[in-house]
Chain A
Amino acid sequence: MSIINSKLPWAALACVLCAAGIETGLRLRFPWTCVGLEALRNSLPSRKQFAVEAASYEAALREYKGGGIVLVGGSDLREGVDTILLKELLGGKEVRVFGMTGQDPLDTLDQNDYFTDRRPDLLIVMSCREGFYRGYMPRRLKYFLGVKGLRVLLETAHPRELFKMRKDMLDGLLGAVVFSLRYRETIRESLYARWGFRPRGSKEHGKGTAREDCWLHPLLEAQKAAFEREALEMQRRGVPLMVVESPRRSDVLSGYPAEVSADYRAFSERMSHDHGLRWIAQEEMPAFNEKDFGDPRHLSERGCEKFTRYLGSILMGSSFRRTSESRSLLDSGFRRGDGE
C-alpha cells in the first residue's frame, strides 16, 4: 500500500530543520546563561549541579576573548580553585577556569586551538593520574573528541583497542557535533533534580578507589601523546604552559599502584626536561589534610582556599620556567599586582 505516494517527507525534513535550529541555538551563550540561572535557583547545592557545570563551562567558552591566566582541567579544578580569590591575589589579573568533569588530555587536545588562538598569558593544566591512566572517556565530558584526538588515537592505539572503543569514539564524535547529545546526562539529571528525586544511577564523585580507577591502560600512550602534542603546540605558538597536579587525599595517593606512580613521575620529568614545562607535583605543595577534602578527589572550601593561595604564591613568584617565546608575564601583570 502506498502511504505517501513518493512525496517528499516534509514532516521529517521539518523535524531535521528544527533539530538543526535547536543545535545551533545551543551554541549561543543565551541558553547556557538561562540553564545556569535556572540551576542556581534550584535548592540543591550548586556545586553538585550538573547544569551549573555545563552552563559555566559553555558560558566560559563563549565569554573568554583572550589573554590572562587560563586554567584547564577536570572537576578537581572547577571545585579546587577559587577564581575570585586567585584574581584578587594576582592583583586583578584576568583568570579563567575551564573545568569540566573528567577532562583528560585527549579531550583537551581538540580544544587547544581555541586557547592558543586567544593567546593567554599563561595556560595552566591541572593534571592527575586518573586523566592518563584510567580507561578512556569518562562518563560525562567525553565529547570534545575531534580530528586531532582521533589522529592521536589512530597513531598510538592498537587496532584491537580502537575496535574495542569504537562505541566511545562514535559517541564522542557525534557529541562533538550534537550538543544535546553531549549534555544529555546534564539535561537529564537536572530534570530529575527538578522533579524532586535523586538521579537514578548517579554516583558521588570519587567513590572508586585509586586502585580501581588507575592502571596501565592500553590507551595510556594515546593520552601521553595527546598531552605532548598539546605542549608542543603551545610551545610553537608561544603560549606559556604550566602543569599543576591536582591534590589528592592521602588514602588516594597511597592507593595508586606503584607502577602507575613511577610511570607518571617519569613522564612528568621527561615533559619538564624536553619541553621546559614547570610541572608542580603534590609533594611540592603544602600538606593537605582530611578537612581539606570534600571527597577523596575534590577539595573542600577550606582546601580550595589553601590550594588557591598556594597557586597564587606560585604565580606571583618567578619559580616557573618560561619558554623562550613566552611573553613577560611576570614583568607586567604579576609584578604590578604584587606591587599594588
Chain B
Amino acid sequence: MLFNSYDFFFLFLPAVFAIYWGLRERKKQNLFLLAASWLFYGSWDWRFLSLLVFSTGVDFLCGLRIHAQADDALRRRWLYLSLAVNLGVLGFFKYFGFFTQSAAQVFQALGLPLKPPILDILLPVGLSFYTLKAMSYVVDVYRRKIAPESDPTAFALFIAFFPQLVAGPIERAQKLLPQIQSERRMRLESFYEGGWLVLWGVFKKVVVADNLARGVNRVFDSSGPVPGPELVIAIFSFTLQLYCDFSGYSDIACGLGRFFGFELSWNFERPFFSRTIQGFFRRWHTSLFEWFKDYVYLPLCGDGVGLAHRLAALLLTTGLIGLWHGARWSYVQWGVFNGVCLALLFWTRSWRISMKQNGIFPVDGSFYRVQEHLTALFFLFVSMFLFRVHSLEQAFSLSGGLLHWDWSRRAKAEALILGVLLIPLLWQEVREERSKDRFAALRGGVLPRALWYLFLLYAVVIFGEEHAREYVYYQF
C-alpha cells in the first residue's frame, strides 16, 4: 500500500484515523496502531510480516536480556545475537545473490569456475530501514544510553509505526519510544502542520518526481550514448526526482505522524542550499547518515587515531552506505566516490583554513560563496549520476554523449518540464530556507496562502500520475 495510492488515502488512513482517535486510552491506541501498521506492512506480502514480527521479537528479547545481565561478556553475547540475527536477515534477503555472484566472478578470474546457488529471493520492503532501527535500539541499550522497553506492544510499534516503516526516517528509540509511552492529545495545529506536510509531500512525489521519472528512465535505461543536453538534463532531473521522491515520502511520513500525535525526525533539510559537500550530507537523508556516523564511523575511528585511520574509516563507512542502498557495485562506487570527496576535504581542511586566514581566498565575497556552492552542486550531480547508472561501463558509455552537443526537440521538452517543475519547488524551498522555518507556508496573508494551497491541490489533481508510482527508496 503506497502513500500515494487511493487505498491508502481514501480507505486505510481515514479508517485508522477515526478508530485511533475514537479509542481514548493510550494502550488501546498503541495496540490498534500496531495492528494497523502490521496490516499496512502485510498488504505487500504477508510473508514479509512474519519476518518483521520475528525480528521485532528477537530485538525485544535481546534488549531485555542485555539490560538484565551484569556481566559484560554476557551482555556482549546478547548484543552479538541480536546483531547476527539482524545482519543475517539483511544479508540473506538483500545480499545473498550479490555476494555469491561476486565470489563466483572472483573465482572465475582466478581460473576456478564456480557455479553459485541461485535463489530467487524477494527483498522484503523496508527491511533495510527497520533493521537499522532495531539495531540502533539494541546497541543503545548495550551502551546504557537507554533503558530497554518492557512493553512489547510499545516496542513493536516503535519498529513498525506505519508512516516510517518502509522508508524511514530511521527513528532512534530515544525519540520515538517516549512519544509512544506518553498520552497523546488531538491538537488542531498538529493537523494543520500535518496537512501541509502531506500536501507538500504529495505534490513533490506525484507532480515533480513522477513527471520527471519517465524522461530520466528513458535516458538511463538506454545502453548507448545519448546527446549531451539530454544526458545533462537527465542528471539534473534525476537529482531532483530522487530528492522530491524521497523527501516527499519523508514529508508525508512526518505529516501522518502529526495526525496521530507523533513528531518524527526531519530527514531532509533543503540540501541544495548547502554550500559544501559535507553540508549536503548533513541535510540529505539525515537519519541514515547520522546512523552510520554513530554506529559505524565513530566506533571505527575510536579515540586518538591518526589521519590515515580516520580516512580509512570514512571510506569504509561511505562504502557501506553505498552498499546499504542496494546489492550492486555501482552503489558501492557511489559511496566510495562520496567518501573520496569527503576525505579530500577532510585531508585539506587545515591547508584550506590557513589559506583563508592568510587572505588568499576572499571568503566573505559573494563570488567565493557562489563558486563554493557551484562546486558542491557539481560534485553532487556527478555523485547522483554514479548513483543512477547501472554500472561503470554504462557511466562511460553514457558520458560519451557529452561530446555530441545537439539540442534535440526532446531535450528542449525535457528542459521545459524540468524548468516548470523547478519553479514551485524553488519558491517554497527558498521561503523555508530564508526563514529557517519548515512551516513557512502556514504563515503570511490568508489570500496568498489560499492561492498557494489551491495551486498545489490542482497541480496534484491534474498533473498527478493516475497510477501510483512506487517510491524509489522502497527498493532499498
Contacts and interface: CB of A to CB of B under 8 A. Distances in A.
A201 interface: yes
B7 A166 contact: yes
A15 B459 CA distance: 13
B360 interface: no
B7 A11 contact: no
A296 to B, nearest CB: 24
Interface in B419-439: 439
A3 B192 contact: yes
A275 to B, nearest CB: 36
Interface string A292-321: 000000000000000000000000000000
Interface string B442-473: 10001101110110011001111010000000
A12 B461 contact: no
A2 B453 contact: no
A11 B10 contact: no
A14 B446 contact: yes
Contacts of B392: none
B375 to A, nearest CB: 34
B458 A180 contact: yes
A228 B238 CA distance: 51
A213 interface: no
Given A170-B10, A201-B214, A4 B188 contact: yes
Interface in A7-40: 9-12, 14-15, 18-19, 22
Contacts of A185: 466
B6 A171 contact: yes
Contacts of B447: 11, 14
Given A14-B450, A139-B466, A188-B463, A19 B457 contact: yes
Given A170-B6, A170-B10, A195-B416, A11 B449 contact: yes
A139 B467 CA distance: 11
B5 interface: yes
Contact of B192 (A9, A170, A171): A9
Given A14-B447, A170-B10, A184 B416 contact: no
Contacts of B68: none
A243 to B, nearest CB: 31
Nearest to A167: B6
Interface string A191-210: 00001110011000000000
B189 A4 contact: yes
A204 to B, nearest CB: 18
B251 interface: no
B149 interface: no
B11 A166 contact: yes
B15 interface: no
B5 A167 contact: yes
A6 interface: yes
A11 B442 CA distance: 8
Contact of B413 (A170, A197, A201): A197
Interface in B48-101: none
B409 interface: yes
B42 interface: no
B442 A4 contact: yes
A42 B449 CA distance: 34
B461 A4 contact: no
A15 B188 CA distance: 18
Nearest to A173: B10
A305 to B, nearest CB: 36
A180 B413 CA distance: 25
Instruction: Identify the interface centre among B416, B451, B453: most chain A CB within 10 Å of its CB.
Output: B453
Contacts of B453: 11-12, 15
Contacts of A178: 461
A187 B462 CA distance: 7
B193 interface: yes
B326 interface: no
A5 interface: yes
- Size category of the binding interface on chain A: 20 to 34
A interface: dominant SS:
helix
Query: In this complex, which of A9, A11, A15, A170 has the most chain B Cβ atoms within 10 angstroms of its Cβ?
Result: A11
Nearest to A200: B214
Which of B5, B7, B461, B463 has the most chain A CB atoms closer than 10 A to its own CB? B461
A54 to B, nearest CB: 13
Contacts of B451: 15, 18
B195 interface: yes
B6 A3 contact: no
A157 interface: no
Contact of B461 (A3, A180, A196, A201): A180
Most buried by A among B450, B463, B466: B450
A19 B461 CA distance: 11
Contacts of B463: 184, 188
A22 to B, nearest CB: 8
A184 B462 contact: yes
B6 A10 contact: no
A5 B463 CA distance: 34
Contacts of B5: 167
Contacts of B466: 139, 171, 184-185
A181 interface: yes
Given A14-B450, A166-B6, A180-B458, A197 B195 contact: no
A6 B188 contact: yes
Contacts of A167: 5-7
A166 B449 CA distance: 34
Given A6-B189, A167-B5, A15 B454 contact: yes
A188 B462 contact: yes
Contacts of A15: 449-451, 453-454, 457
B450 A3 contact: no
Contacts of A4: 188-189, 192, 442
Contact of B409 (A3, A184, A197): A197
A19 B454 contact: yes
Contacts of B454: 15, 18-19
Interface in B185-210: 187-189, 192-193, 195
Given A166-B7, A167-B7, A3 B193 contact: yes
14 contacts: A10-B450, A11-B446, A11-B447, A12-B192, A12-B453, A15-B449, A18-B454, A19-B454, A22-B458, A171-B466, A180-B461, A184-B461, A195-B416, A200-B214
Which 9 A-B pairs have CB atoms at the shortest separation, nearest pair first?
A11-B449, A14-B450, A15-B453, A197-B413, A15-B450, A167-B6, A11-B450, A184-B462, A6-B188
